Chain A
Amino acid sequence: MSFWEKYVFSTDHKVIGLQYMFTGLFMAAIGGFFVYVFRMQLAFPGISVPGYGEVTPLAYNSLVTNHGTIMIFWFAMPVLIAAFGNILIPLMIGCDDMVFPRINRLSFQIFLLSAIILIASFFVPNGGFGGAWTSYPPLSANAEYNATPLGAPMWLIAVALEFVAFLLGGINFITTLMNARAPGMTMYRIPIVLWMIVIASILFMCSVGPLIAGAVMLLFDQTLGTSFYNPAGGGDPLLWQHLFWFFGHPEVYVVLLPAMGIVAEIMATMARKKLFGYKTILYSVIATGILSFVVWAHHQFIAGIDPRMANLFTVTTLLISVPIAELCFVYIATLYGGSITFNTPMLWALSFMVEFLIGGITGIFLGASGVDIFFHDTYFVVAHFHYTFVPIAIIGFYAGITYWFPKIFGKMLSDRLGKIHFWGTIIPFNFIFIPLFLLGAAGQHRRIWDFSNYSDLATPEFFNLRVIATVSLIVMISFQFVFLFNFIKSLRSKEKAPKNPWDANTLEWTADSPPPHGNWPELPEKVYRGPYEFSHPDRESDFWPQDEPGPDPDDPDYKSGYSPDSDIESSSTKA
């Protein structure tokens, strides 16, 4: 096979997954550069940012908008769902490829096209779209308000194309998981990360229709001069907010769930313990998914919706913290009493829990309609959703890539460099966003180009906090080069990774590292038990691969050869 066939127009699910991953990482680098530029402008207003130059208000709007858009739609989604979903689903259920490999390739090609359109929109006259990633009309609908007559429609087209790409990918994921499982891989033996990815795909497919409809109407408002969202012509600007957030809130869970799943796999393996409450997790996730469709208006508490409706949405919003808290407790119960290895993937997984919890708890403040009136559109909100999205996208990605790196690339990452990278990312991350919580609680608003124009926000105390955040950001970004170095160094090293470096149970560890096209010379014949049988008392070794012939300890007929009393009895007879 030529290079083009093998790496560019491949239908191999692993190659497509890697294409998604590298495109997503490239986009993340762009998004990271944007945040560096506008954080510099906020901390040191008016300076010429090294590597960029002076930031005009128009450029500032465009940078902030596209930072948000890229990080959610072109980094979190492709990397967490598309990349890990593509790589893991066939490997973990024991089949040779996706059910629709060519649809899979088409999905990536559309995604790539959307990324190219988005990048191209930065270079048209007046630059990329600057109407915020939520794109509320009339700001987004009228070129005279957002000042980006070409950037706005291009942004919208790119987003719509991207959704088409994920729609195709989602169909593929769901069909593959439902139809292509190895014999014996029953519903409750599917690794939890796959459930999470597939439930996320279902959520995405159910919620994306309204947004595409809304986007078409917005595009017509922008280009044809219709007035779907223009009250002067009989339209309704709130309509967009409803359509956008009806998609936008499930979207949060669409990216959260795969990250939660990755963390669950790592925790069970590294704590050498059976995942606590498999079915509890599954049902909690389904409950989260259903609830996520009835919370959207908590983004619009001050948009002029009926206060009685706001109360209703407060209740549903607070309700959704119940299944999520349940997931956290179940994860802690998995760790409890385990023999934990603190290697790099496990550190990422543990930090995910801690940091996401901060994001979740501050969300309760914002979900209450009364408190939200004060906090709305302040940096408190910014810090809150970064405390959810950074753990999801960045920590979740690093957890997944450090854990599956041996399988994907066939080499081992350096654990020491990994730990340096870990601490160099986590500590600055908290130093970026804790100041932003303080700033937001003190009343600093979002989407302001230069705070020195506002006397009450331009005091030295405020600026000190902004400088702390910006300097920490630069430290955090520079530590990412440690990861890059580690990545390239491992790829070039001669040492090959073993098939199963972590002594894990799931099927992907029985394939070669990296698995060839088709994954196994012969597909796994049968799956005998669930994926998390670690440290089972009946066994010598502390793991029990899913494809190893033998009994299933979850079977009601299973007779355990071990009882806690037998130890005492044998020791007493000796005495």
Chain B
Amino acid sequence: MIMFVMSEMMFFGALISAFLIVKSGNIMWPPPGQPRLPIGLTAVNTLFLVGSGVLVYLSNKSLSRGDKVGAKKLLRYAIICALIFLGIQGYEWVSMLQHGLSMTSSTYGSFFFMIIGCHGLHVLGALLFLISVYRKFSTEAFRPESYWGGQVFWYFVVGVWPVLYVLVYLS
């Protein structure tokens, strides 16, 4: 899993560096005539995602203490937080499209949808993994190793988000 996260890091590293190269090649950024991204709403959203990362961490801590019920409860809250994050993201995308920012309207829009979309897909994938772990939690099929694998990937997805927020939204 760590090897996989490493190649994922390179993947996002490439997207970010591509974004920075193109950004530095344009004098006006964001390009004129393009809508601005919702900084405030996304800041709240960031809190939800980071919060869910913290909850997963706490859930793991109570699991290692042997408190399986508490761990499951915390994981449930983490999943709810992540669902809220994805919901707000979806709402944001729809409103951005209504304001005229799309894949083809400018490289600004292309990069926004590309980077944030890739991240969103990763959140979705990691979330499905966590949900499957959650469903197995109190059964015998539960394996702490697979929960740990899901956590590593979740921490990666959560950890890369603030970087993207600063680079894509705040610049």
What residues of chain A have their CB less than 8 Å away from a CB belonging to chain B? 167, 170-171, 174-175, 202, 205-214, 216-217, 220, 224-228, 233-236, 239, 242-243, 246
Q: Is A217 in contact with B3, judged by CB distance below 8 angstroms?
A: no
Flag whether B91 is at the interface (Cβ < 8 A): no
Flag whether B8 is at the interface (Cβ < 8 A): yes
Q: Is B110 in contact with A220, judged by CB distance below 8 angstroms?
A: yes
Q: A205-B3, A224-B104 are in contact. Are A213 and B18 (CB under 8 A)?
A: yes
Most interface-central of B3, B4, B6, B15 (chain A CB within 10 A): B3
- Which B residues are in CB contact (< 8 Å) with A212? 11
A-side interface mostly = helix
Q: How close is A517's CB to chain B, nearest CB, in angstroms?
A: 25
> What total of A-B pairs shows CB separation below 8 Å?
88
- Which A residues are in CB contact (< 8 Å) with B110? 217, 220, 226-228
- Which B residues are in CB contact (< 8 Å) with A209? 7-14
- Which B residues are in CB contact (< 8 Å) with A210? 10-11, 13-14
Q: How close is B4's CB to chain A, nearest CB, in angstroms?
A: 6
10 tightest A-B contacts by CB?
A209-B10, A210-B14, A209-B11, A213-B14, A234-B107, A226-B110, A205-B7, A213-B15, A209-B7, A225-B104
Closest to B23 in A: A234
Flag whether B66 is at the interface (Cβ < 8 A): no
- Which A residues are in CB contact (< 8 Å) with B12? 209, 213
Q: How close is A206's CB to chain B, nearest CB, in angstroms?
A: 6
Q: Is B3 in contact with A171, judged by CB distance below 8 angstroms?
A: yes
Over the window 20-36 of chain B, the binary record of Cβ atoms lying under 8 Å from chain A Cβ atoms (1 yes, 0 no) is: 01100110000100000
- A–B pairs, 17, beta carbons within 8 Å: A170-B3, A205-B7, A206-B10, A209-B8, A209-B9, A209-B11, A213-B15, A213-B18, A217-B18, A226-B114, A228-B18, A228-B111, A228-B114, A234-B31, A236-B21, A239-B21, A243-B14
A206 to B6: give the CA distance in the assembly, Å: 7
Q: Is A171 in contact with B22, judged by CB distance below 8 angstroms?
A: no
Q: Is A205 in contact with B18, judged by CB distance below 8 angstroms?
A: no
Q: How close is A529's CB to chain B, nearest CB, in angstroms?
A: 30
A243 to B15: give the CA distance in the assembly, Å: 10
B-side interface mostly = helix
Q: How close is A176's CB to chain B, nearest CB, in angstroms?
A: 12
- Which B residues are in CB contact (< 8 Å) with A175? 3
- Which A residues are in CB contact (< 8 Å) with B47? none
Q: A213-B15, A226-B103 are in contact. Are A234 and B22 (CB under 8 A)?
A: yes
| Interface residues of B, count at CB 8 A | 27
What residues of chain B have their CB less than 8 Å away from a CB belonging to chain A? 3-4, 6-15, 18, 21-22, 25-26, 31, 103-104, 106-108, 110-111, 114, 118
Q: Is A236 in contact with B3, judged by CB distance below 8 angstroms?
A: no
Q: Is B18 in contact with A214, judged by CB distance below 8 angstroms?
A: yes
Q: Is B3 in contact with A174, judged by CB distance below 8 angstroms?
A: yes
- Which A residues are in CB contact (< 8 Å) with B31? 234
Q: Is B14 in contact with A234, judged by CB distance below 8 angstroms?
A: no
Q: How close is A230's CB to chain B, nearest CB, in angstroms?
A: 8
Q: How close is B30's CB to chain A, nearest CB, in angstroms?
A: 11
Q: How close is B133's CB to chain A, nearest CB, in angstroms?
A: 18
Closest to B115 in A: A213
Closest to A233 in B: B107
Q: A174-B3, A236-B21, A239-B18 are in contact. Are A207 and B104 (CB under 8 A)?
A: no
Q: Is B104 in contact with A226, judged by CB distance below 8 angstroms?
A: yes
Q: A174-B3, A210-B14 are in contact. Are A217 and B114 (CB under 8 A)?
A: yes
Q: A224-B104, A228-B110 are in contact. Are A239 and B22 (CB under 8 A)?
A: yes
- Which A residues are in CB contact (< 8 Å) with B14? 209-211, 213-214, 243, 246
A550 to B28: give the CA distance in the assembly, Å: 73
A255 to B171: give the CA distance in the assembly, Å: 41
Q: A205-B6, A217-B114 are in contact. Are A235 and B107 (CB under 8 A)?
A: yes
